[in-house]
Structure 1
């Protein structure tokens, strides 16, 4: 995950204050991941332990996006996505 995020940050160059939402997975709590976010002025939003509802909206979004793409659909622009 860190490598994919690193590439996105280098190519897209988001503004300082970007919020990256994650769960409590070990890859997201690792020092390397946190350092990468700090280097680019990004903030991490992480669900609390044992509270699966913290990231409900993010999970719902990704689920719908994946379903649309896996069903052979495609977006014709950012607005439609």
Structure 2
């Protein structure tokens, strides 16, 4: 996955949702997420990047599990208000 793709997705998400500073972006250690350009974009918007330590894919497992449960219980076939 190219870095341009994740950077553009972040830009579009920020424009569409306008999250407050402090947004947490969960990712793995992929080259697109560790690229200086993407990291700069994250910092520019006052967001924080959270990623697993190298070789430890379970670091963000609790966050991913929580988001999956939250989505399942809150959405129940619907959608978040936008």
Per the normalisation by structure 2, the TM-score is 0.71
Alpha-carbon distance in structure 2 between the residues aligned to 1:11 and 1:78:
14
After the TM superposition, which segments of 4 or more aligned residues of structure 1 sit over 4 Å from their partners? none
How big is the shift at 1:51?
Answer: 0.7
RMSD: 2.5
Per the normalisation by structure 1, the TM-score is 0.72
Alpha-carbon distance in structure 2 between the residues aligned to 1:3 and 1:53:
27
Please give the residue correspondences for 1:36-75 in structure 2 after superposition, counting only pairs within 5 Å.
36-60=41-65, 61=67, 74-75=77-78
What 5-or-longer segments of structure 2 have no aligned partner? 1-5
Alpha-carbon distance in structure 1 between the residues aligned to 2:8 and 2:80:
24
Determine which structure has the larger helix proportion and give its number.
Answer: 2
What 5-or-longer segments of structure 1 have no aligned partner? none
Aligned residue pairs, count: 72
